[in-house]
Every structure is written in structure tokens, then in C-alpha cells.
Amino acid sequence: MKVKIQGLDCPNCAKALENHINKLDSVKKAEINFVKSSLVFESDNESKALQEIIEVTKKIEPQASIVTPGKKNKESQRIIIDFCLLLLGIALGAIVIFVKMPTWLYWTLFVISALIMGYRTYYKALRLLLKGTINENLLVTISVIGATAVGEHFEGLMVIALYSIGKILESIAVNKSRKSIEKLTSFKPEYAILLDGEEEKRVEPSQLKIGDVVLVRPGERLAVDGIIVDGKASIDKQSLTGESLPESVKEGDEILSGSIILDGVLKVRATKAYQESTVNKIVELIEHASDKKSKTETVISKLTKWYTLGVIILAVLVWGIVWAITKNINTAVYRGLIFLVVSCPCAFAISVPLSYFAGIGNASRKGILIKGSNYLDACAKLNLIAFDKTGTLTTGEFEVVDIEVCKETLTKEDVLFLASLGEQYSLHPLASAIVKGNKRQLEKVKNVKEVAGEGVYFDYKKDSYFVGRKSENLQGTVVELFKNQEKLGQLILKDKVKDTAVSACSNLKAMNIKTDMLSGDSEKVAYEVASQIGIDEVHAKMLPEAKFEYIKGLKENKANHVGFVGDGMNDAPSLTLADVGFCMGLKGNAISMEASDVVLATDNPEKVADAIKLSKYTRKIVWQNIGLSAIVKLTFLILGAIGITGMLSAVIADVGVTLIVILNSLRALGYKIKNKKQA
């Protein structure tokens, strides 16, 4: 079961809450996604588990609440209430600091001011401490109490005021980030119009099954994959593929769910249930992308678990050293408190997962579906890309480019016609290309027999014919035609190179990434295609097993970080073995899509380079955030320890760097990929 959580603005708090939920007897497994503000849990009794989760959330994170179905998210209202209370606390604090009054009134207003501004912080610190969890709330609480104890009343109030202001700004920034990311899955259809005869029924997309016919009007989004049975229209597939140009479709065409109808009215027969539809699979890929974490993200998550305890120990150490040097306990305590304030781990804990999710979200908007931040990191390290040929670098659609006639009484058209008589019964791609090239009316033939790996045998007008391949050492893609063992001619076919294949290879080379092509075709065909595209290295006559062994051999060299790009079921082993497997196209084989780490929504090989560029950019932002946070914190720790900066500077530095890295993370969401244009 999946539910939303409102009011959860601290990654470490989210982890602590997740740990307590997992201790519930009614819960088998629970996971909180801080970036998406969601909770997914497994239970044999979901209603009981949900109730217990709601109760434990109130105890551990009182400002957070579970948004059950039908309940409104009141996140904005909570922020407004917190802000109003903060203003009241600051006003009382100002009166305490600047107005002379009796001692009893001074301390009464001081305590009220401090409580109003930080009651959530103190409560969370105490509750989690009693549960054996130490986090940044405890650091701030100790700092406020310590500052007050050493006579720095003004700084004590300012610490909690600035910290609370920072948390509110942080909540606003995180919520904005979440909303930006949630827009990525907004293309999920809300309803479908099911046709029952002439009657129209508005239903949930999940109710649709194979064979149902749905009606889609202009401005509506198709709920299921299907075939158009009536109508024609222009459709927008940008949310699926990242391609902005509209596409014209008509009766008999396949159409993907999630497409928006721009004009015209379509009737579409579902070829898949909604659960298996393209739009649902894309949404699932985006929503589960954060489940597979990068090594960086995992390390940061593990470090923050012990980080706060380590900070407290180091603060005590700083206190001891300063006391030993200055012989002044107030100075020592004060500098130890500075260490506590500036060491809050929020900047690390928030920015790293947010950066990765923003990068993955941006990629999905461009039609590049990366299954996790671990694969995004792996993409950034690739230095060699191996391409399958057919359907990946070429269209997979063959055409007859020449016909050689061996019998003077026949013309090229005669050879093509006779070959088509047999090939009309075959499902082979070459057979389809031959039949497509024929312009004459085909007749029925007798005794048709197709032999795998050879061709088609048939009888026509009392003669026996064979169309296929018998001769050895034929160069290229050649289909021969025989009549009663006499060769009548041969047809030369070629697979068209994709228009985007050349620029795809060029963009990879610009990043110093080597390109290989693995093909099952003859050397002549493979090298001809490779020369057109600009591939670095070619391997021909390779069966799926040979491709697998080749990838395996490349990976034995630890310096190689190998990506493999393919689209067919036979590519699945190589897709799985490669450091990153790229599956071409949403219409590709389900097995290859499952085996891959990155799914490209279109058949455009340029998207491989795009995925790598976006991954490198996102990874750069992650390290910028880690580096900036570390430098700022280390600088203020040193300055605070030697007495140059005070607690206010420490709080401002901590809050400031957190906000900066959150905003920097969002750059990954808006990054625009720039590629060199081909002449």
C-alpha cells in the first residue's frame, strides 16, 4: 500500500520514522521516500497497519501526518501556521532583549519566546532521544540551552529563530521541488471513455481490458495502448518520448497510451490492459527510480545515521581543548556549541537524493527512463558503447536496391514478381521487403514450404521454385531465385541506416567514448553500415552468444565501463551483463525492456549520448553540493573553534548552505542537453 506523508521536511527524521514503522508487528516492510514524501508498506492487514502507522507517526513526528485516501494535503496550511507562530516568538524575543522589565517577567517571556519558536524542535529531540535516536534537533536544542546557560541569551533566541526560519524556507524549497518532480507523472490518464455499443461510459483506466474500445476526443489523453479502429488525428507524444513535433495517425495505426489527441476523434481498441500499458510502465519506472540508490547516496545515508553522535563527541572534544587552552569554561562551552550548530547534516541528507531524483525526472521528460540513481551514476562513467545493428543503428526495414537477372528472357520485374509469389507466405523481414517492392498482382501458388535458414519452396504453373539462399560466399544481403534448380536471378537488399545514427556516434566520440558495432550480418554489410555511421570497431557474424561473450571479455578489463544498446529479445543477455543496458523504444520486446537499466522511449540512438550527458551533469551537481556543504561547514567549524565567528554566523551558514544546495539540485531538473549539429 502507498500513502502520502505531509509535514515531513527532514531526511533523517524520515529515516527515524521509517525505522519505528518497521518495528510494528502488523508491518512486514515499510519504506519512506523523502523526496516524493511517500510511504510504501506491506502488511497482511493493511487497515490495521495503517492505523498503527498513523499513531506512531503522531508520536515520533507530531508535525507530520499520513494523508489517507480522500484526505486533503494541508502542507501549505502547516507552513503558514509555523510562520505565524515564529513571528509571534520573534516579537516576544525582541521585547525581552530590548525592553527593561522585572527579572521574573524577563525569564517568563524569554522561555515563552524560545518555546513558541522551537517547540517542534525540542519535542522531536526529546521524543527521538527517548527512543535511542540522536539527530540535528538535539544539536540545536543543546545549543539553545547551552547559549542561555553561559549568558548568551540573545544568541540563544537567535539560534532557534534562525534555525526555525531556515526550516520553514527549507520546507518551502523542498515542497516546490516535490511539486516540480510530481509534474513528471502528471501525464497519467485520469479516466477513459469506454464504448459499449453506442453507449459511452466514463471509467477508471484500471478497469480497461484487452479488446475494449475507447473513445478519445481532442484534448484528452489515451488511457491504454491500442490500434485505431476509426478516425484520424494529430497526437502529442512529448510527455512519453520527449519529441515535441505532433504525429499524424489514422485507422490501423498503433498508438501509445499517454498520447494527447490534438484534433479529430479516435476510437481505439485496447491491445494491452492498463497495468501493462506504456504510460503506466513509465510512471512506475519514475516512481520506483529512487528505490535503486547510487553508491554515493547510500554512503551519505549511512554516514548521517552516525553523523550526529560523532558531532556531539567532537563538540565535547572542542570544548575540552578550548578550555585547556583558554582556562575559560564559558568560552569553551560557547565554541563547542558553535560546532554543534554548524554541523547539522541537512545539507548533505537533502541535496543528494534530491539531485538524483531531479536528474532522473529530467531524463524521463526527455524520453530517457533511468531505473535508478545507481544506473545514472553508471551512465556517467561509461567509456565504451557497443551497439546492436539491426533495429538499433538501422531501421530494421529492408528494401530491394538491385536485381541481377541470370536468364536473358526475364526482366528485373519478372524476377521480383516470381520471388514475391513465394515470399508472400513468409513472415521474414526480407520477404516483406521483397513483396513490398513488387508492383504486380500476386497469384496463389501450390505446395508452399518454408524451411528455416533456407527459404521458401513452392510450385507455380507446373514448375518448382525456390526463393532464399543456397549459394555460399554471397556478399551482402542477397536472396536468390531458382526454377527447377536453375538460377533465374538474385535480389540485393539493404537495411536503411537511421538518420540519427551518425550524430549519435559523433556525440559519443565528442565525449571520448569508444563505439563498437556487433552484427550478425556478413562482414561486407556490417562494415558498409559502420563506415556510413562512423563506428570505431566492427564485429560481424555474431550470434547472441558471441555478443554476450564479447561484452564479458570487455568487462574483464576493469578500465572498461561498458554500455550495450539493443532492442530485441536476443539482446537481453548482453543488456543484463553490460554495466548499463539501453533498450531501444517503448514498443520493444518486453524481455529486453526488463533486462535493461535504461529504456529509451524512442528508437533514436542519439538518446544514448543524451542519457550520458545528463548523468554526468547530475553527478557533477551531486558533488558540487557535497563539496560546498563540506567546505562551508569545515570553514565555520575552524573559525568558530578559534573564536573568529559566533553562533549566529554558524546558524546562518548552516541554513544558507542548505538552501543553496536545494536550489542547486533543481538545476538538474531544468538542464537542457546541447548536441553538435551535423553538417
pLDDT single digits (tens) 195-248: 988 888 999 888 899 999 999 999 888 989 899 999 999 888 776 766 666 888
In this predicted model, which residue has the larger pLDDT, 336 or 88? 88
Find the range with the poorest average confidence among 125-129, 296-300, 339-343. 296-300
> What would the grid cell of residue 355 be?
539531485
Cβ-Cβ contacts under 8 Å for 628 (sequence gap 6 or more) = 347, 657, 660, 661, 664
- CA distance linking residue 136 with residue 211, whole number of Å: 56
- CA distance linking residue 444 with residue 457, whole number of Å: 13
Indicate if the pLDDT at residue 272 is higher than 90: no
> What pLDDT band is residue 143 in, cutting at 50, 70 and 90?
confident
Contact 657, 628 (CB under 8 A): yes
Q: Give me the pLDDT at residue 35, please.
A: 64
Domains annotated for the chain, with CATH where assigned, are 2-73 (3.30.70.100), 192-287 (2.70.150.10), 366-394+498-614 (3.40.50.1000), 396-497 (3.40.1110.10)
> What pLDDT band is residue 594 in, cutting at 50, 70 and 90?
confident
Chain mean position to CA 272:
24
Indicate if the pLDDT at residue 270 is higher than 50: yes
> What would the grid cell of residue 237 be?
507524444
Indicate if the pLDDT at residue 109 is higher than 90: yes
Q: What is the pLDDT of residues 538-578, one digit of tens each?
A: 998 888 888 899 999 999 998 999 999 987 677 888 888 99
- CA distance linking residue 405 with residue 491, whole number of Å: 9
Q: Give me the pLDDT at residue 297, please.
A: 65
Q: In what order do the strands lie in the sheet with 446-451?
A: 394-405, 486-497, 477-483, 463-468, 455-460, 446-451
The SS3 assignment for 539 reads strand
Contact 598, 368 (CB under 8 A): yes
Indicate if the pLDDT at residue 597 is higher than 80: yes
Indicate if the pLDDT at residue 532 is higher than 80: yes
Active site residue: 388, 567, 603, 610, which one?
Answer: 388
Residue 647: CA count within 13 A, CB half-sphere: 32
Chain mean position to CA 585:
16
Indicate if the pLDDT at residue 284 is higher than 80: no
Average pLDDT over residues 254-273: 89
> What pLDDT band is residue 180 in, cutting at 50, 70 and 90?
low
Q: Give me the pLDDT at residue 590, please.
A: 67
311 — phi, psi (to 5°)?
-60, -45
Average pLDDT over residues 412-417: 94
- Judge residue 528's burial from the number of C-beta atoms within 10 Å of its C-beta, 0-12 exposed, 13-18 middle, 19 or more buried: middle
Q: Answer yes or no: 521 catalytic.
A: no
Q: What is the pLDDT of residues 233-256, one digit of tens each?
A: 988 877 676 666 688 889 998 888
**What sign has the CA pseudo-torsion 523, 529, 532, 534?**
negative
The SS3 assignment for 74 reads coil
In this predicted model, which residue has the larger pLDDT, 370 or 167? 370
Average pLDDT over residues 587-596: 71
Average pLDDT over residues 47-73: 77
- CA distance linking residue 540 with residue 171, whole number of Å: 56
> What pLDDT band is residue 181 in, cutting at 50, 70 and 90?
low
Beta pairing partners, 455: 451, 468
Q: Give me the pLDDT at residue 411, please.
A: 94
In this predicted model, which residue has the larger pLDDT, 174 or 363? 363
Average pLDDT over residues 512-525: 87
In the chain, the percentage of residues whose pLDDT exceeds 90 is 28
In this predicted model, which residue has the larger pLDDT, 636 or 176? 636
Q: What is the pLDDT of residues 394-408, one digit of tens each?
A: 887 788 989 999 988
- CA distance linking residue 376 with residue 363, whole number of Å: 10
Query: What is the chain's Cα-based Rg?
Result: 33
Residue among 575, 571, 573, 572 nearest 562 (CA): 575
> At CB < 8 A and 24+ separation, what contacts does 63-71 make?
63/7, 63/120, 63/124, 64/5, 64/6, 64/7, 64/8, 64/13, 64/17, 65/5, 65/6, 65/7, 66/3, 66/4, 66/5, 66/39, 67/3, 67/4, 67/5, 67/6, 68/3, 69/3
> What pLDDT band is residue 416 in, cutting at 50, 70 and 90?
very high
> What pLDDT band is residue 679 in, cutting at 50, 70 and 90?
very low
Contact 319, 344 (CB under 8 A): no
CA angle 189–190–195, rounded 5-degree value: 85
DSSP secondary structure, 109-159, as one string? HHHHHHHHHHHHHHHHHHHHHHTT---HHHHHHHHHHHHHHTT-HHHHHHH
Q: What is the pLDDT of residues 58-68, one digit of tens each?
A: 877 777 778 76
- Judge residue 25's burial from the number of C-beta atoms within 10 Å of its C-beta, 0-12 exposed, 13-18 middle, 19 or more buried: exposed
* Strand 486-497 versus strand 394-405 pairing type: antiparallel
The torsion of the CA quartet 164, 169, 170, 173, rounded to 10 degrees, works out to 170
- CA distance linking residue 470 with residue 479, whole number of Å: 9
- Please tell me which of 35-39, 286-290, 329-333 the model is most confident about, judged by mean pLDDT: 329-333
606 — phi, psi (to 5°)?
-60, -25
> What pLDDT band is residue 440 in, cutting at 50, 70 and 90?
very high
The torsion of the CA quartet 211, 216, 222, 227, rounded to 10 degrees, works out to 40
- CA distance linking residue 310 with residue 333, whole number of Å: 17
Residue among 626, 636, 629, 638 nearest 297 (CA): 626
Residue-averaged pLDDT of the chain = 84
